[in-house]
């Protein structure tokens, strides 16, 4: 039996065949592939601490923040989820220095196959972590933009034809049918040509660059079998999660008793037991 205590953080993940995962408790990283098939128990101690400032909070906001940080930090602002709503130029950004390193750097717009086709964007430095965090089995970068906001404008065009959210239940139920992402992009690029041209006229040709030679990424996940139940555990309602670890996909632990979203519980202090 192995028993560990600490504050949950988003799982670390690395590309591999299959993808490799580490459960993070405080500064410790516990490799999970060697725990597949083990009994896993997660006990919530009743404490939640903000991942940004460390203060104790009764409720977690934006995946691990206290309410003051949720209101203060740019990473919790609505423009993170909808980058086209960026208000930096109006002088109202919550953290201009943070934005310089996060938003004013190259971003990729991509198509992915999670539970079907979806569009997304990410900093170029976050590839392929972003795709693995979403449980994508395929991904194809289609455009590179100079800023996050520009990527948001492109994503806004695409989401009229391709969704930007993943059906987590379908994603965890099993791998979707393979997609021809290059063919999908060729069709979408033609349909959205006028909108893309307008964005290039606004920001410049080099600001929104095509990626004709980009390779399609593919992934497999460490899953012994799909979970028989797709009940999502919530430590705020049920202080103990227990079951046999069947696999890991996206930021979910797949158990024979249900599924546990690790990222949602960032900041929760827990005791984790493997047996």
Q: Say yes or no to pLDDT of 1 above 90.
A: no
Residue (of 222, 212, 272) closest to 252 by Cα position: 222
* CA torsion through residues 243, 245, 251, 257, sign: negative
Q: Mind listing the pLDDT tens digit for each residue in 122-179?
A: 999 999 999 999 999 999 999 999 999 999 999 999 998 999 999 999 999 999 999 9
In the predicted structure, residue 270 carries a pLDDT above the cut 90: yes
How many CB atoms lie under 10 A from the CB of residue 213? 5
User: Is residue 77 within 8 Å of residue 61, measured between CB atoms?
Assistant: no
Q: pLDDT, tens digit, for every residue of 190-225?
A: 999 999 999 999 999 999 999 999 999 999 999 999
For the chain, the structural domain boundaries read 2-59+221-274, 105-218
Instruction: Kindly report, residue by residue over 226-251, the tens digit of the pLDDT.
Output: 999 999 999 999 999 999 999 999 99
Instruction: For residue 229, give the 3-state DSSP assignment.
Output: coil
Confirm if 219 and 130 have CB atoms less than 8 A apart. Answer: no
pLDDT of residue 92: 97
Q: Are 41 and 273 in contact (CB under 8 A)?
A: yes
């Amino acid at each position: 039996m192995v028993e560990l205590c600490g504050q949950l953080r988003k799982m670390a993940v690395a590309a591999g065949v299959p993808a490799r995962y580490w459960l993070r408790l405080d500064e410790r990283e516990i490799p999970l592939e060697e725990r597949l098939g083990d009994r896993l128990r997660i006990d919530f101690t009743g404490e939640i601490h903000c991942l940004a400032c460390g203060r104790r909070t009764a409720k977690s906001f934006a995946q691990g923040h206290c309410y003051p940080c949720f209101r203060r930090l740019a990473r919790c602002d609505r423009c993170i989820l909808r980058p086209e709503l960026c208000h930096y130029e109006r002088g109202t950004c919550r953290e201009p220095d943070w934005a310089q390193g996060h938003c004013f750097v190259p971003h990729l717009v991509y198509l992915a196959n999670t539970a079907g086709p979806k569009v997304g964007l990410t900093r170029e430095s976050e590839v392929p972590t972003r795709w693995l965090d979403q449980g994508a089995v395929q991904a194809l970068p289609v455009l590179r933009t100079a800023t996050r906001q520009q990527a948001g404008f492109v994503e806004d065009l695409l989401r009229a034809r391709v969704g930007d959210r993943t059906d987590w239940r379908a994603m965890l139920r099993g791998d979707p049918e393979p997609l021809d992402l290059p063919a999908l992009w060729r069709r979408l690029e033609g349909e959205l040509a006028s909108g893309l041209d307008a964005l290039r006229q606004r920001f410049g040709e080099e600001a929104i660059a095509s990626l004709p030679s980009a390779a399609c990424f593919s992934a497999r996940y460490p899953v012994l079998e799909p979970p028989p139940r797709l009940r999502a555990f919530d430590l705020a309602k049920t202080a103990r999660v227990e079951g046999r670890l069947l696999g890991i996909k996206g930021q979910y632990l797949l158990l024979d008793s249900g599924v546990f979203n690790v990222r949602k519980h960032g900041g929760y202090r827990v005791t984790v037991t493997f047996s």
